[in-house]
């Protein structure tokens, strides 16, 4: 079993208590950012169906200017370092339905268009004047659907390392990870599996990510927060769920920026060609040294690019 970072408290210790916003000093320390003593953040939610909510983090003071949407099997905290690097820009980071603190759907409809309708409700309530819409992976497909269906809601669109051309082969490592076990006897074991699939990330950052994305049960075991019930029935097939989203790309009217991870196989040259055929004005940039999760691998570089998008509004 892989050892946890020795200088950090062991989450398997019965006395350990997870505090949602207590880890921000680690994000800042790892990337040389100012201490987070002045950070303003709170969790808010909006009811989208009877008894089901969409939750998110509202950062900073004043009307949010940027909306951030994570990828599949992630949660709003995947953006923490990016937000810390861009502060004091007010932003929101949304937990997609079935992820983080957002409610699970009994019908299992986590396709981009269904999720877009739910996220739009959160945006209308908590970030109605936001200018820049950002989505990564599954969240990138979701924001594409949102931008197509609600053309007047934002001013610019940023999609992180995904197109509707994604399939199981291109995203094989992602699928192998998220279709693994739902629960683990100890934090050490969930940590070891996460490290195996994310060898370029620091142990400290992976520990933070797990604490935000899993929770300890009464018997001491650990369980992922995201809804994995669909994996018990059939493998999740991107090619079926997202085959028609190229039409949404065509329908988007916002300035479109695609950011590719330099070492990621999820977006290939054929995908870029199809994007430019449908949106000849789209801008495509490669973030060197980043894999699929650019916000985790190169958060400061991503923050610079998002600030440039915001400045262009």
Q: pLDDT per residue over 121-168, tens digit each? A: 999 999 999 999 999 999 999 999 999 999 999 999 999 999 999 987
41 DSSP 8-state letter: E
Q: Which residue has the tokens 């028609």?
A: 244
Query: In the prediction, which pLDDT does 233 show?
Result: 42
Whether omega for the bond prior to residue 81 falls within 30 degrees of 0, making it cis, is no
The predicted model gives 18-38 an average pLDDT of 94
Query: In the prediction, which pLDDT does 132 show?
Result: 98
The predicted model gives 205-209 an average pLDDT of 94
Under the banding of pLDDT at 50, 70 and 90, the label for residue 3 is low
Q: Which phi-psi region, left, alpha or beta, contains residue 103 (left: φ > 0; alpha: ψ -120 to 50)? A: beta
Look at residue 145 and tell me if it is in a domain.
yes
Query: In the prediction, which pLDDT does 167 show?
Result: 83
The predicted model gives 111-119 an average pLDDT of 94
Higher pLDDT, 275 or 49: 275
Residue 6 has pLDDT above 60, yes or no: no
| pLDDT averaged over every residue in the chain | 91
Look at residue 186 and tell me if it is in a domain.
yes
SS3 state of residue 104: coil
With a pLDDT cut of 90, the percent of the chain lying above it is 79
Residue 93 has pLDDT above 90, yes or no: yes
Look at residue 4 and tell me if it is in a domain.
no
Query: In the prediction, which pLDDT does 106 show?
Result: 86
84: domain range?
24-311
Look at residue 177 and tell me if it is in a domain.
yes
257 DSSP 8-state letter: E
The 10s digit of each residue's pLDDT in 252-289 is 999 999 999 999 999 999 999 999 999 999 999 999 99
Helix, strand, coil percentages (3-state) for the chain, rounded to 5, are 40, 15, 45
Q: Where are the beta strands (DSSP E) in 32-190?
A: 41-49, 52-59, 66-69, 91-94, 132-136, 156-160, 183-184
- CATH no. for residue 107? 3.40.50.1820
The 10s digit of each residue's pLDDT in 53-83 is 999 999 999 999 999 999 999 999 999 999 9
Q: Which residues have a catalytic role annotated?
A: 137, 161, 292
SS3 state of residue 212: helix
The number of domains in the chain is: 1
Query: Environment class of residue 14 by beta-carbon count within 10 Å: exposed (0-12), middle (13-18) or buried (19+)?
Result: exposed
With a pLDDT cut of 70, the percent of the chain lying above it is 93
Look at residue 11 and tell me if it is in a domain.
no
Look at residue 18 and tell me if it is in a domain.
no
Residue 186 has pLDDT above 70, yes or no: yes
Q: Which residue has the tokens 């691998």?
A: 297
For residues 178 and 171, the answer to whether their CB atoms sit within 8 Å is: no
Under the banding of pLDDT at 50, 70 and 90, the label for residue 239 is very low
Query: In the prediction, which pLDDT does 19 show?
Result: 93
Look at residue 2 and tell me if it is in a domain.
no
SS3 state of residue 109: coil
Look at residue 137 and tell me if it is in a domain.
yes
Under the banding of pLDDT at 50, 70 and 90, the label for residue 231 is low
Rounded CA gap, 94 and 76, in Å? 5
Query: In the prediction, which pLDDT does 245 show?
Result: 93
Strand order across the 214-216 sheet: 183-184, 222-224, 214-216
């Amino acid at each position: 079993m892989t050892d946890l970072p020795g200088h950090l408290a062991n989450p398997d210790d019965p006395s350990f208590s997870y505090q949602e916003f207590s880890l921000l000093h680690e994000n800042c320390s790892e990337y040389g950012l100012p201490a987070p003593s002045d950070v303003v953040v709170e969790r808010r939610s909006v009811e989208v169906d009877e008894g089901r909510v969409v939750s998110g983090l509202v950062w900073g003071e004043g009307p949010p200017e940027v909306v951030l949407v994570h990828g599949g099997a992630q949660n709003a905290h995947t953006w923490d370092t990016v937000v810390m690097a861009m502060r004091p820009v007010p932003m929101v980071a949304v937990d997609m339905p079935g992820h983080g603190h957002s409610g699970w759907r009994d019908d299992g409809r986590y396709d981009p268009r269904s999720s877009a309708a739910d996220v739009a409700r959160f945006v209308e309530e908590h970030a109605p004047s936001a200018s820049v819409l950002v989505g990564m992976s599954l969240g990138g497909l979701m924001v594409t659907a949102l931008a197509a269906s609600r053309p007047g809601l934002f001013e610019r669109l940023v999609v992180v390392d995904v197109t509707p051309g994604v399939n199981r082969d291109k995203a094989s490592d992602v699928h192998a990870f998220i279709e693994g076990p739902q629960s683990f006897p100890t934090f050490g074991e969930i940590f070891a599996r996460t490290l195996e699939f994310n060898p370029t990330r620091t142990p400290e950052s992976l520990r933070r990510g797990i604490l935000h994305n899993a929770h300890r049960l009464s018997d001491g075991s650990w369980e992922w927060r995201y809804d994995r019930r669909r994996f018990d029935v059939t493998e999740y097939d991107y090619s079926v769920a997202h085959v028609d989203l190229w039409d949404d790309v065509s329908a988007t009217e916002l300035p479109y920026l695609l950011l590719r991870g330099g070492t990621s196989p999820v977006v290939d040259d054929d995908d870029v060609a199809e994007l430019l055929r449908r949106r000849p004005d789209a801008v495509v940039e490669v973030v060197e040294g980043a894999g699929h999760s650019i916000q985790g691998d190169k958060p400061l570089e991503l923050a610079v690019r998002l600030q440039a998008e915001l400045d262009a509004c």
